[in-house]
Structure 1
Amino acid sequence: MNRAIHSLTAVLALAGTLACAAPPPHVTQVPIACTQVSRETCAIAGRLGRGINLGNMLDAPREGDWGVKLEPAYIDLAADNFNTVRLPVRWSNHAAPTADATLDPKFAARVDQAVDALLARGAYVILDVHHYTQISGDPPHPHEQTVDPAVVDQRLINLWKQIATRYRDRPPRLIFELLNEPHGRLDGEPWNRLAAQALAAVRESNPTRTVMIGPGGWNSVDELPRLRLPADRNLIVSIHNYDPFDFTHQGIDYLAKPFPVGTRCCDAGQRRKVEDALDKAQRWSQAHGVPLHLGEFGAFEKADIDSRAAYTRLVRDEAEKRGIGWTYWELASTFGVWSPANGQWVEPLRRALLD
């Protein structure tokens, strides 16, 4: 998802001792498609359950650019209340602009702290490459470096060689996600080819770690038919769904054509959009024998709070009916379930996700 525009009132360092505690045992309740994956990856898919994105923190061009930093309190909130934490990271902006994409050691150590703190709390952690805008052909965000187009794809492969090697000794609860929301120039076969190369780079050091791959079109369910997975028994497919889009994205001023504020949710037609998308995804999963994860859904803060809660509960329930674990977008920014300004849960959203 796109950037935060909400300011944060308190800024703390990530350092600090965190007590170990297992997250709530929320698991999916119905069988999931696993005929083409290993027993361990199938078990992980079923245990991901209810999750949260720590969005707009380490995926901003520079941490803090989008109004929120990764604080110890956020790690506590995420790990204490959710099974799974998705950690979006803009690695590409903290690496050499050359094909080797050598990582900035200071930034990589910052990510290490977050990953290890979450793992110490017993959470499943999904670590991705997020907001590598140039790879999909998008214009750069402010403060984002650009590179020679000839090395864009190779940098992703070399980023994964380094990331995978760095975390190869972490427990299986750490899951790699190759790229957030491929789209544009990557749609179709270009992404199929590049994903296979990036996965091969991971497999050099992590032969059996569970890896997530999403379809093109911003991880769209409609792009699943064009997704051609590598022959690998440790994969989960990640989908995103923000339908009805005119509701979930109303009032966002950085869209090319902003949606007006005032759309409510959820009438019969809106419910059908959510249900149809997840039905389509479930049919694909069953036909291919690969489990799914709903990596993002959520509604921007300009929508009325009752509608946001109704939408959130709808998507949560429909995903869980189909045995699909999820990670809500996101904890503490403009789609957030926690208010940094008030220092408390946005309670209708918390109930919709967890009660």
Structure 2
Amino acid sequence: MNIICLRNKNICFKLLLNFLLILLCMTTSCPIAKSSPKYMQLRALAFRRAASLNNGISFSWLEQTWNKNPLNQGAIKDADFALLKRLGFRSIRLPIAFTYLETAHIPTVEILGYIDKVVKQCHRYGFKLVLDYHYGNLNDANSSAETLKLIDLWEKLAKRYTNVSADDLFFELYNEPPHMNPNVWKDVAYNVVTALRKVDKKRTLIIGASNYNSIYELSRFVRLADENIIYTFHFYEPFFFTHQGAGWVGNQVATTGVSFPYSAENFPALDPRAKGTPGESNHEMYRRDGNEQSVNDKLQIVKAWGDKYDVPIICGEYGVYNKYADLDSRCRYIKAVRAALKKLGIPGMLWDYNGTFSIFAGKPSIDNLPACMKDAIAY
């Protein structure tokens, strides 16, 4: 392509600069926002709906694959909704282990019946609701087949809840995509969104990045060509503290007795089982990472990404495994994360209400909510 330089060298320079910018955007993922009124309205709508999810919490019930009778054990009751309403929560995230429930030979119609009930309860008590596809089998090798399964499921749900306001019901397409090729995951997400839009054009969808909704993978993710999407991430940093002693993670979190923030006086020695694992380096780095400033700095990573693409983001999960972390540290951590999210304008949803990350000291009730946790959640 020839660039004609006029006598005015400034004009020639501007022409050359514009050409180079166009060429750059043709060969890279240039974050150019669509500016037509239609797209601007859709994006504004997504931002408004994301904000409505703030101060949310997950119900760990239909994702509890370790329960022999998951549909009946831990079922949500009206008293639970009334309690959360009293505590000031505004939204509920319902993780559902669809794949597990199917392999347990539980009829789909029965599963949907329970979801129907939660949808109605949320409407009655004034909660926003996120339906979340939990514990799928997606990986690089089976992505094509799993994509078809995802499309089939979400199309069914979209048709079933077509009369439920898109202001009140959200679809989170896949919880924590595994450590897989990020480009493969993006293709999966794109294909599911594209198929779903043929059935439901109004529903706001929620999508995260690979490596388990990692903040770092999200910071490298290129937004999809759909204006009605909220991008989610999960925040458990520092993992060394939030998951201490969690058996399903492995020996990297074998070191327990870790407080928040870091205290040199009370800091435990590295558990021998953690040697040679990421837990060894995390033990060393906790002196630097175990504080409120580090929480702020890491959340700033996703805030910067959201600002770059001008898209809404939410923290879909944050919390602390409660078996080994002391209560005061858990309270301080949750308060610190909530404060940082508020400062950055990022809506957040706690994990969780009634499981091993519960904010209660026993069965959920006002009496079982410790004083420091009341302060942490601003009750």
Normalized against structure 1, the TM-score is what? 0.79
Q: Deviations over 1:9-43 (max 9, x none)?
A: xxxxxxxxxxxxxxxxxxxxxxxxx9795222221
**Structure 2: gaps (5+ residues):** 1-38, 263-287
Q: Deviations over 1:175-196 (max 9, x none)?
A: 11111111223x4111101011
Partner of residue 76, structure 2: 71
1:40 partnered with 2:45: yes
SS at match of 2:131: strand
SS at match of 1:275: helix
Residue 147 of structure 2 contacts residue 192 of structure 2 at CA under 8 Å; is this kept in 1? no
| Cα-Cα RMSD | 2.8
Residue correspondence of structure 1 range 178-217 to structure 2 within 5 A: 178-185=173-180, 187-217=181-211
Q: Deviations over 1:208-250 (max 9, x none)?
A: 2111111111111100143233211111100111011111001
Partner of residue 235, structure 1: 229
Shift of the 349–64 alpha-carbon distance from structure 1 to 2, 3 Å rule, reads: farther
Partner of residue 144, structure 1: none
Partner of residue 279, structure 1: 300
Structure 1 window deviating more from structure 2 (337-346 vs 243-252): it is 337-346
Partner of residue 161, structure 1: 155
Larger Rg: 2
Partner of residue 313, structure 2: 292
Q: 2: CA distance between counterparts of 1:96 and 1:228? A: 34
Partner of residue 113, structure 1: 117
Of 340, 345, 348, which residue of structure 1 is paired with 2:368? 345
Normalized against structure 2, the TM-score is what? 0.74
Identity %, equivalent residues: 27
Shift of the 342–173 alpha-carbon distance from structure 1 to 2, 3 Å rule, reads: closer
Shift of the 108–137 alpha-carbon distance from structure 1 to 2, 3 Å rule, reads: farther
Residue 57 of structure 2 contacts residue 350 of structure 2 at CA under 8 Å; is this kept in 1? yes
Shift of the 299–314 alpha-carbon distance from structure 1 to 2, 3 Å rule, reads: same
Q: Deviations over 1:123-159 (max 9, x none)?
A: 1111110111x21479xxxxxxxxx887333211211
Of Structure 1 and Structure 2, the greater helix share is in 2
Shift of 1:341: 4.1
| Aligned residue identity for 1:353 | I
Q: 1: CA distance between counterparts of 2:140 and 2:81? A: 33
Residue correspondences, number: 307
Partner of residue 15, structure 2: none
Q: 1: CA distance between counterparts of 2:196 and 2:55? A: 26
**Structure 1: gaps (5+ residues):** 1-33, 139-147
Partner of residue 289, structure 2: 269
Residue 168 of structure 1 contacts residue 205 of structure 1 at CA under 8 Å; is this kept in 2? no
Residue correspondence of structure 1 range 1-16 to structure 2 within 5 A: none
